[in-house]
Chains A and B, each alone.
Chain A
Amino acid sequence: MISATEQRIPRTASWAAAVFVLLLGLLIGAGTSYAQDQEQLRDYIERTSELMDWARELVQDTDNARSRTVLAEAQRLQVRSIELATQNRPLRAYETARRAREAIWLAVRLAREAMNQEEQLRVRADRFREVFDEVRERAQEAHHETALTILRQSETQAERARERYLQGDAKAGVELLEQAEQLLQRARRLLQDAPRPGRMENEIERTRKLIEGARERLGDDAGRESLERLDDARNFLNRAASQLAQGHPQRARHALERSRQLIGEAVDSGVAPDAEAIRRQIERWDARATRLDPLLEGSNSDRAHRTFRRAGEDRSDAATHLAAGRLLRALRQIRAAHEKLDQVERMLR
Chain B
Amino acid sequence: MRFLLILGVALAGTVSGPASAHALEIPTSGRDSLGQWTAPPAPKAHWNLRLETGLDALVHTYPLAVSDTTETVIEALAAVAVSGRSARRGANRWELQGSASLGDELTRQRLEGVFRRLDSGRSTRLRLAASLRGRQYRHSDEYTSSDNLETRTDLRLVPWQNESTMFESRLRGYLQHYGSPSELEVNHRQVGLAMTLRSRGWSERSWSAGLLGSARSYPDSARIDRHTWGAQATFERGGQADRRIRVYHRTDRRLVRDETARPSAWIHLTDLEFAIPTGVGRILGDLQLEGWLYDREEGAYFDSWRTTAFAGYGRGDLLSTRWKLGLAGERFGAGEVPESYTQFGLRGGVDAYDDQLSGSLTLEVGQRLYDESSSGTETATTASLDVAGTTDYLDEYSNTDFTYWEIWLTATWRLGDHFTLDAMANYEPENHTIPEDDSALGYATLRLTWRP
A interface residues, Cβ below 8 angstroms from B: 1-3, 5-6, 9-11, 36-38, 40-41, 43-44, 47, 54-61, 65-66, 68-73, 75, 77, 90-91, 94-95, 98-99, 101-103, 105-106, 108-109, 112, 116, 119-120, 123, 127, 133, 137-138, 140-141, 143-147, 153, 156, 160, 164, 166, 169, 172, 175-176, 179, 182, 185-186, 188-190, 192-195, 197-198, 200-201, 244-251, 253-254
Most chain B beta carbons < 10 A, residue from A60, A112, A194: A60
Most chain A beta carbons < 10 A, residue from B184, B250, B353, B410: B184
Contact yes or no, A244 B34, CB < 8 A: yes
On whether A40 and B181 interact (CB within 8 A), knowing A9-B220, A57-B262, A143-B38, the answer reads: no
Query: Inside 8 A of A116's CB, which chain B residues have their CB?
Result: 290, 292, 306
Q: Which of B258, B393, B410 contacts A179 (CB 8 A)?
A: B410
Contact yes or no, B35 A249, CB < 8 A: yes
Contact yes or no, A60 B31, CB < 8 A: no
Which partner residue on chain A sits nearest B258 by CB separation? A1
Once the chains are docked, how many angstroms separate the CA of A144 from the CA of B41? 11
On whether A200 and B34 interact (CB within 8 A), knowing A70-B62, A71-B184, the answer reads: yes
On whether A37 and B388 interact (CB within 8 A), knowing A56-B184, A248-B355, the answer reads: yes
As a 0/1 sequence over residues 321 to 343 of chain B, the CB contacts with chain A under 8 angstroms (1 = contact) are: 00000000000000000010000
Contact yes or no, B65 A99, CB < 8 A: yes
Query: Inside 8 A of B36's CB, which chain A residues have their CB?
Result: 144-147, 194, 249
Contact yes or no, B33 A3, CB < 8 A: no
Which partner residue on chain A sits nearest B4 by CB separation? A66
Residues of chain B in range 410-448 having any CB-CB distance to chain A below 8 Å: 410, 412, 422, 424, 426, 443, 445
Once the chains are docked, how many angstroms separate the CA of A99 from the CA of B288? 35
Contact yes or no, B382 A94, CB < 8 A: yes
- Total interface residues on B, using CB and 8 Å? 86
As a 0/1 sequence over residues 165 to 189 of chain B, the CB contacts with chain A under 8 angstroms (1 = contact) are: 0000000000000000111111000
Once the chains are docked, how many angstroms separate the CA of A156 from the CA of B124? 24
5 A-B Cβ contacts within 8 A? A56-B184, A119-B267, A143-B39, A247-B31, A249-B36
Once the chains are docked, how many angstroms separate the CA of A201 from the CA of B360? 30
Q: Which of B60, B223, B234, B426 contacts A66 (CB 8 A)?
A: B60
Q: Which of A5, A176, A179 contacts B220 (CB 8 A)?
A: A5
Query: Inside 8 A of A5's CB, which chain B residues have their CB?
Result: 181, 219-220
On whether A60 and B88 interact (CB within 8 A), knowing A37-B386, A250-B354, the answer reads: no
Once the chains are docked, how many angstroms separate the CA of A193 from the CA of B142? 54
Contact yes or no, A133 B385, CB < 8 A: no
Q: Which of A9, A69, A127 contacts B144 (CB 8 A)?
A: A69
**B240 touches A (CB below 8 Å):** yes
Query: Inside 8 A of A192's CB, which chain B residues have their CB?
Result: 202, 239-240
**B66 touches A (CB below 8 Å):** yes
Query: Inside 8 A of A138's CB, which chain B residues have their CB?
Result: 202
Contact yes or no, A251 B65, CB < 8 A: no
Contact yes or no, A73 B64, CB < 8 A: yes
**B19 touches A (CB below 8 Å):** no
Contact yes or no, A41 B35, CB < 8 A: no
**B253 touches A (CB below 8 Å):** no
Q: Which of B39, B127, B355, B387 contacts A133 (CB 8 A)?
A: B127
Cβ of B426 to closest chain A Cβ, rounded Å? 6
Query: Inside 8 A of B183's CB, which chain A residues have their CB?
Result: 9, 11, 56, 60
Query: Inside 8 A of B139's CB, which chain A residues have their CB?
Result: none
Q: Which of B39, B64, B292, B395 contacts A103 (CB 8 A)?
A: B64
Which partner residue on chain A sits nearest B114 by CB separation? A133
Q: Which of A60, A200, A245 contacts B186 (CB 8 A)?
A: A60
Query: Inside 8 A of B347's CB, which chain A residues have their CB?
Result: none
Contact yes or no, B399 A109, CB < 8 A: yes
Once the chains are docked, how many angstroms separate the CA of A58 from the CA of B334? 15
**B21 touches A (CB below 8 Å):** no
On whether A40 and B388 interact (CB within 8 A), knowing A3-B220, A172-B426, A250-B354, the answer reads: yes
On whether A254 and B398 interact (CB within 8 A), knowing A69-B144, A119-B290, A120-B269, the answer reads: no
Contact yes or no, B390 A94, CB < 8 A: yes
Once the chains are docked, how many angstroms separate the CA of A193 from the CA of B143? 51
**B312 touches A (CB below 8 Å):** no
On whether A99 and B33 interact (CB within 8 A), knowing A112-B339, A192-B239, the answer reads: no
Query: Inside 8 A of A75's CB, which chain B residues have their CB?
Result: 143
On whether A106 and B62 interact (CB within 8 A), knowing A41-B390, A58-B300, A190-B319, the answer reads: yes
Contact yes or no, B390 A44, CB < 8 A: yes
Once the chains are docked, how many angstroms separate the CA of A123 from the CA of B394? 38
Query: Inside 8 A of B219's CB, which chain A residues have their CB?
Result: 3, 5
**B72 touches A (CB below 8 Å):** no
Cβ of B201 to closest chain A Cβ, rounded Å? 9
Task: List 16 additional A-B contacts (Cβ < 8 Å) besides A94-B390, A250-B355.
Answer: A6-B220, A9-B182, A59-B184, A68-B184, A72-B141, A72-B143, A94-B387, A98-B65, A99-B65, A102-B64, A103-B64, A160-B445, A169-B443, A179-B360, A190-B319, A197-B34
On whether A182 and B360 interact (CB within 8 A), knowing A103-B64, A143-B41, A192-B240, the answer reads: yes
Query: Inside 8 A of A2's CB, which chain B residues have their CB?
Result: 221-223
Which partner residue on chain A sits nearest B154 by CB separation? A129
Cβ of B271 to closest chain A Cβ, rounded Å? 9
Query: Inside 8 A of A189's CB, which chain B residues have their CB?
Result: 239-240, 318-319
Once the chains are docked, how many angstroms separate the CA of A199 from the CA of B195? 42
Which partner residue on chain B sits nearest A105 by CB separation? B398
**B54 touches A (CB below 8 Å):** no
**B163 touches A (CB below 8 Å):** no
**B277 touches A (CB below 8 Å):** no
Which partner residue on chain A sits nearest B267 by CB separation? A119
Once the chains are docked, how many angstroms separate the CA of A9 from the CA of B288? 39
Contact yes or no, A91 B387, CB < 8 A: yes
**B391 touches A (CB below 8 Å):** yes
**B164 touches A (CB below 8 Å):** no
Contact yes or no, A1 B390, CB < 8 A: no
Once the chains are docked, how many angstroms separate the CA of A10 from the CA of B422? 43
Cβ of A97 to closest chain B Cβ, rounded Å? 9
Contact yes or no, A40 B387, CB < 8 A: yes
Contact yes or no, B248 A95, CB < 8 A: no
Query: Inside 8 A of B395's CB, which chain A residues have their CB?
Result: 47
Which partner residue on chain A sits nearest B221 by CB separation? A6
Once the chains are docked, how many angstroms separate the CA of A251 from the CA of B66? 55
**B375 touches A (CB below 8 Å):** no
